[in-house]
Amino acid sequence: MIFGAWAIILNILTIGILSFGFALLLMSLLVNPTHGLLLRFEAKTRARLLWCVVALPWFVSLVSVVLLVFPEVFNWQGRWLTSMLHLHHTYSFPIYSWHGVSLFLFSALSFLLLLSKLISAFKNTSHIGQLQDFLRPTQLPNGCMLIESEKRHAFTSGIISPKAYITRGLHDLLTETENSVVQQHELAHVKHADPLRKYAFSVLASFFPGRLVTQLNNAFSLALEQLADSVVLKTSHNEALISKTILKVVRLQNISTPGQTEPLFNCAFTTHPLELRIRYLLSDDKGYAFPHGLVFLSALTLVLVSTFSVDLLHHYFEHLSNH
């Protein structure tokens, strides 16, 4: 048994973990069947909504800790909610109990997930370093890097210092205007640090169940590609040119490297559903704006359900241990 300040800290962590788990479960049940509805929103809104999805369990966890451990913050003493939401034995923490087991399991899982992400980031950085050292790309006037390779690729890579790349094999097969479209697209990824955004998003998304992790990462990546297309559109004002360029690059890449997949922390020019990108480009109605009211109500519901669930679970185990 641990007492005092360390007990408070461990109890706070346990409550946060349990609340996080409940919120994650509810989010997983809700997001999976409503995943297709995301396409009804504009790309920028979709990216923001996806951030809300992966960040909301952490926010719910924080609020639940405050409600259960520090209810006096909201001056609820003496009211009906105080008696329902209150953590008993705050100053004692039994290590060999469900508290300790929950804390240990989540800590171990979090450590393994974060370690795998750090290893992936290190490999990505190492790969970019090798590319710079051995291929020695030259910088084009607009800042894009030209790689002397017969392969046909265009991508943005680099979590810390992103750079846009295009290979000689692709560059020489495109017209000047098509090259401009491809390079502006990749430079838009550089400007907005999209590889870093993808990396941070993937870290938060990795706590969701397996198949949902892939869906969330793919949806976020598609939104970033559509946003980069929109940046090019502001300059060229020619949806048809951008669409034709995307199709041409896909055809050229499929000839040289069919079935190409995109590394998680890179932004490749053509590894996403072309129909969705082109339809979004040509559509006058880009979709709905950010639903502030819906997000607020969803967050409030998650906070209440998760907090009450943790409180009931805690009292249930306390009742079992006392009888």
pLDDT tens column, 128-185? 777 777 778 899 999 999 999 898 999 999 888 899 999 999 999 999 999 999 999 9
- Would you say 205 and 247 are in contact if contact means Cβ atoms under 8 Å apart? no
Determine which of 47-51, 68-72, 73-77 has the lowest per-residue pLDDT on average: 73-77
154-157/138-139 β-pairing: unpaired
The chain-wide mean pLDDT, for the chain, equals 82
Q: How far is 26 from 32, CA to CA, in rounded Å?
A: 10
H/E run at residue 92: strand 92-93
Instruction: Encode 239-269: b = buried (16+ Cβ within 10 Å), e = exposed.
Output: bebbbebbebbeebbeeeeeeeebbbbbbbb
Phi/psi at 251 (nearest 5 deg)?
A: -60, -45
pTM: predicted TM-score of the whole model, two decimal places: 0.85
Beta bridge partner(s), residue 157 = 163
Helices (H), 135-238: 168-171, 176-191, 194-205, 210-236
CB contact at 8 A, 270 and 253: yes
Sheet containing 163-167: give its strands across: 138-139, 145-147, 163-167, 154-157, 267-268
pLDDT band at 90 (very low <50, low <70, confident <90, very high): low
Whether the pLDDT of residue 7 is over 90: the answer is no
Q: What is the pLDDT of residues 186-223, one digit of tens each?
A: 999 999 999 999 999 999 999 998 889 989 999 999 99
Enumerate the domain spans of the chain. Answer: 139-290
Query: 3-class DSSP state for residue 257?
Result: coil
With bands split at pLDDT 50, 70 and 90, how would you rate the model's confidence at 49? very high
3-state secondary structure of 167: strand
pLDDT above 50: residue 82: no
**Average confidence (pLDDT) over 218-244:** 92
140 secondary structure, DSSP code:
P
**Structure-derived torsion over alpha carbons of residues 99, 101, 107, 110, reported in degrees to the nearest 10:** -110
